[in-house]
Amino acid sequence: MRLVEEIIRLKKEKNAIILAHYYQIPEIQDIADFVGDSLGLAQKATTTDASLIVFAGVHFMAETAKILNPYTKVVVPDLNAGCSLADSCPPRDFEKFKNKYPEHMVISYINCTAEIKAMSDIICTSGNAVQIVNSLPKDQKIIFAPDKNLGGYINNISGRNMVLWNGTCEVHDILSTEAIINLKIQHPDAKLIAHPECKGQVLALADFIGSTNAMLNFTKSDTNKKYIVATESGILHQMQKDSPDKEFIIVPTDETCACNDCPYMKLNTMEKLYLCLKNETPEMILSEALINKAKLPILKMLDISKKLNIIK
Ligand code: 13P
Ligand code: SF4
C-alpha cells in the first residue's frame, strides 16, 4: 500500500508518466497512466509532455519511447528486460542478410533493437502490420524481420512472398496446439483468439487473430461468453476487468510448466518501478545518430497508420 501511495506521490511531484504494456503484472497495469499494446504505447510516446517517462515494458519499447522523445529522460524498472524476438536479430547478421536482397525494402516489426530499426524502411506493429504491407505496391519486394510467424501470417493473407528473417517470440511460439485442441473439445462454446506471433498451426485454428489491443477490443464487442486466449497471460487482467461476465481460458505452453508469462516483461516489479521513479535510473540512453536514423521508419509507420485511420 505504501508503495502505491509513494509511486502516486512521486509521479505528481516529478510530472512523470508511467506507460505500461498489457503484459505487465496487474499492480503495474493498475497504477500506470496509460496501458497499451506496442502501437498504442508508441503513439502515446509521441503525444506526452511529461518531464519523465517511466516505461514498464521491455527494452525495445523503452528505446522506441526514447527515440520519439529524445529530450525527455526515459527510465525503466529493469534494464535486463529484453525480448527473445529482438535478440534473434543481431544487427551485424541482419546487415549481411539485407545485403543479399539489394532490391528489397525492409519492414521491421517494432519488436527489434534500435539498430535494426535504423536499418529499416518502415516499422510496423501487430496492430498495423497487414495494412502497412498492403499499402505498398503489389510488386514491391520486401524483407520482413524479425518475426517469421507474423511475416508468414501476412504472406498468407496478402498473397505476397516477403523474405522472412528467422526469428520468433519464445512465449508465443511454444503455445501448445495440442492443448488448444483439447481446450476446444472441453469448451465447444468458446472462441479461440490468437496473437499473430503464434505459429501457423495455432493461427489456423483461431476464430480471431489480432494484436493485444485488437484481441481486447474483440472480447469487449463480441457477443460470445467464453474465449480460449492464445497469447501472454498478462492481458487476462484487462480482459476480465472489461468483461467481468465473460470467461477467459489461457493457452498453456508445450513445456512442463502450464504458465505463459513473458520472463522479460515479468522482471518488472512494483518495487523496481518505485525505485526507478525515485532514483531516475536505470535510464535509457541512445546516441543522437542512432535516434535520428531509427526515428524515420517509426514516424513513417505512425504516418501511414494515421492515413489509414488505424490510429487517430
Ligand atoms: P503487441 O503489443 O503489438 O500486441 O505485441 C505483443 C508483444 O509480444 C509485445 O512484446
Ligand atoms: Fe518479446 Fe515475446 Fe516477451 Fe513480447 S512476449 S517481449 S515478443 S519475448
1 has a pLDDT exceeding 80: no
DSSP 67-117: HH-TTSEEE-S-TT---HHHHTS-HHHHHHHHHT-TT-EEEEESSS-HHHH
C-alpha cell at 37: 499494446
Q: What is the pLDDT of residue 255?
A: 53
Q: What is the pLDDT of residue 253?
A: 78
The superfamily (CATH) of domain 2-81+265-285 is NadA-like (3.40.50.10800)
Sign of torsion over alpha carbons 127, 130, 134, 139: positive
Q: What is the mean pLDDT of residues 94-105?
A: 98
pLDDT tens per residue across span 27-52: 999 999 999 999 999 999 999 999 99
Computed over its alpha carbons, how large is the radius of gyration of the chain? 19
**Relative to the alpha carbon of 42, which ligand is closest?**
1
More reliable by pLDDT, 254 or 199? 199
The answer, yes or no, to whether any atom of ligand 1 lies below 6 A from the CB of 115, is no
For residue 138, the surrounding DSSP H or E stretch is none
Domain map (residue ranges) of the chain: 2-81+265-285, 85-169+295-307, 175-250
CA of 169 to the centre of ligand 1 (A): 10
Q: Which pLDDT band, with edges at 50, 70 and 90, does 241 fall under?
A: very high
Asked: is 175-250 a CATH 3.40.50.10800 domain? The reply is yes
Ligand 2 atom with least separation from CA of 264 = 3
More reliable by pLDDT, 146 or 179? 146
Ligand 1 atom with least separation from CA of 213 = 4
257 has a pLDDT exceeding 80: no
CA of 231 to the centre of ligand 1 (A): 9
Helices (H), the chain: 2-13, 26-31, 38-47, 59-68, 84-87, 91-99, 114-118, 129-134, 148-158, 177-186, 200-205, 212-221, 235-242, 270-279, 288-307
Give percent above pLDDT 90 in the chain.
Answer: 94
CA of 185 to the centre of ligand 1 (A): 28
258 has a pLDDT exceeding 80: no
Identical fold between 2-81+265-285 and 85-169+295-307: yes
C-alpha cell at 16: 512523470
Pick the CATH number of 85-169+295-307 from 3.40.50.1860, 3.40.50.10800, 3.40.50.720, 3.30.360.10: 3.40.50.10800
CA of 266 to the centre of ligand 2 (A): 10
4 has a pLDDT exceeding 90: yes
245 has a pLDDT exceeding 90: yes
Nearest CA to ligand 2 atom 7: 169
CA of 64 to the centre of ligand 1 (A): 13
122 has a pLDDT exceeding 70: yes
C-alpha cell at 263: 520472463
Nearest CA to ligand 2 atom 6: 83
173 has a pLDDT exceeding 80: yes
Mean pLDDT, the chain, integer: 96
How far CA 272 is from CA of 26, 184, 191, 278, in Å, comes to 15, 39, 37, 10
Ligand 1 atom with least separation from CA of 265 = 10
Q: Which pLDDT band, with edges at 50, 70 and 90, does 260 fall under?
A: confident
> Probe ligand 1: pick from 112, 150, 197, 215, max atoms within 8 Å of CB?
197
Q: What is the pLDDT of residue 219?
A: 98
Q: What is the pLDDT of residue 312?
A: 85
